[in-house]
Amino acid sequence: MIQDIFKVPIYQTKLELDTKKLTKFCNNYKKNEDSRVADEGQWLTASGWQSPNLSLELSDIKPLIEKIEEHATYFSSSIINNNIQFVINLWLNISNFKEGNRTHCHPNSDISGVYYVKTPEECGRLTLEHPIKHTLDFAETPMKVQNFNSYNATEWWMPPVADTLYLFPSWLNHFVEPNMNKTKERISISFNTRDTHG
């Protein structure tokens, strides 16, 4: 008998939102923010362009927020509790050629995730790390593995697909591979949720 213990769940779903409209919103926001930052002499990029936290009252992202909260609440019911999850912060990411994101997690929240708005070919995958990846990297067993699966992999990647939402526990380390498309940008919206308002 094999029992599955200490699982790490990843939630994936299509939202059927208007990605063309969201792409336009993201690009316009970046353009306006770049002008403001230039005026103030600030620099907001981090492995690609990243916005500050957006106002959660913006009409352009209201449908997305509603979907996130719906799915995060459903996801939470299986891994945390039956309380309603609320988006506490949300920001835009626009990555050009070779721009990616280093390993990190999201403290002070329950569930984190990403919604893909625009995903050209070879734009970089979302990669999730085993909770004890660094310990396993020093062990001999992973080097003997011939066929990687959810039992023995130290990393697991998810494909970037437009209109796709991914949710995962906020404590899970993850990173985004560089966008290797030389001519087209990758656009995504990242966020955190918690079972109380921020």
Domain ranges of the chain: 11-194
- Amino acid 194: pLDDT: 97
Distance CA 134, CA 191 (A): 26
The model carries a pTM of 0.91
Tell me the mean pLDDT in the region 165-194: 97
How high does pLDDT run on average in the chain? 91
- Amino acid 36: pLDDT: 65
Tell me the mean pLDDT in the region 14-28: 97
Distance CA 96, CA 94 (A): 7
> Residue 192 above 80 pLDDT?
yes
pLDDT tens profile 119-136: 999 999 999 999 988 888
Residue ranges of alpha helices (H) inside the chain are 19-40, 62-79, 133-136, 141-144
Most confident listed range (31-40, 125-134, 150-159, 168-177): 168-177
Any idea what the Cα angle at residue 106 is, between residues 101 and 111, rounded to 5°?
A: 115
pLDDT tens profile 37-67: 655 544 444 478 999 999 999 999 999 999 9
Q: Choose the CATH number for 11-194 among 2.60.120.620, 3.40.50.510, 3.40.50.620, 3.40.50.720.
A: 2.60.120.620
Tell me the mean pLDDT in the region 66-79: 97
More confident residue, 142 or 45: 142
Q: Pick from 127, 91, 86: which is nearest to 110 by CA?
A: 86
Residue 132, Cα to own-chain centre: how many angstroms? 20
Position 94: which residue type?
I
3-class secondary structure, 18: coil
